[in-house]
A and B are shown apart, each in its own frame.
Chain A
Amino acid sequence: KAGVTQTPRYLIKTRGQQVTLSCSPISGHRSVSWYQQTPGQGLQFLFEYFSETQRNKGNFPGRFSGRQFSNSRSEMNVSTLELGDSALYLCASSLTSRSGYTFGSGTRLTVV
């Protein structure tokens, strides 16, 4: 079965712009979580969606938002981009909120 698909793989944006990242979970998986990976900071939790509802949220500013659609696909939006938002954004899906995660390959965002 197809894995977790994240698009685009790479993105370059200018400070102040906004960006939308997409994640298609494994078919049948209803939980989607987003993480930010930066050098030295590991994987920092952004938020988790389950059946179109945000279940958990990490300690990120309101510029970071997300949503999940009825087909479980999820999008993450970052507005008013800052240089420090440059990172690898990873999406992970799971069957239920208590199942193990399967990660996508990530979207590498560079803000210039």
Chain B
Amino acid sequence: DQQVKQNSPSLSVQEGRISILNCDYTNSMFDYFLWYKKYPAEGPTFLISISSIKDKNEDGRFTVFLNKSAKHLSLHIVPSQPGDSAVYFCAARMNRDDKIIFGKGTRLHILP
């Protein structure tokens, strides 16, 4: 049972445009959400996070939006750059045991 779902396996976006990566979750016990970025042959690196008590968090070109009623979060990257081409994982932390559950990832291709 996939508690964190990234329904788009891949996404292609023109350089300079906005990239929007989506994530849905099913468990209301999640209290913290994270996005990780992964390049081939490297481990995931932390990108941005958001607490369940907020609906938006911004860090430079990256903004994460949380819609608790819809159990949906999204990562916006503006403007998209070639170095943003990577796999992006959405993750959620369970508030009862701190376990972090990852989605399957979305591969983002930034087109020149």
Contacts of A41 in B (CB 8 A): 104
| Number of B positions contacting A (CB below 8 A) | 23
Please tell me which one of the listed residues B6, B45, B46, B102 contacts residue A35 in the complex, with CB atoms under 8 A apart: B102
Interface pairs (11), CB distance under 8 Å = A42-B6, A42-B103, A43-B105, A44-B102, A55-B97, A56-B99, A92-B43, A97-B98, A101-B46, A101-B100, A103-B45
Query: What bracket does the count of chain A residues touching chain B fall in?
Result: 20 to 34
Contacts of A100 in B (CB 8 A): 34, 46, 49
Q: Report which A residues bind B (CB closer than 8 A).
A: 4, 33, 35, 40-45, 48, 55-56, 90, 92, 97-98, 100-106
Main secondary structure of the interface of A (DSSP, over half): strand
Please tell me which one of the listed residues A40, A90, A97 contacts residue B44 in the complex, with CB atoms under 8 A apart: A90
Interface pair B44/A56, CB less than 8 Å apart? no
Interface pair A105/B42, CB less than 8 Å apart? yes
Which of the listed residues A41, A42, A56, A98 has the most CB atoms from chain B within 10 Å of its own CB?
Answer: A42
* B78 lies within 8 A of chain A by Cβ: no
Given A42-B89, A43-B89, A56-B97, A103 contacting B102 (CB threshold 8 A)? no
Residue of B nearest to A58 (CB): B99
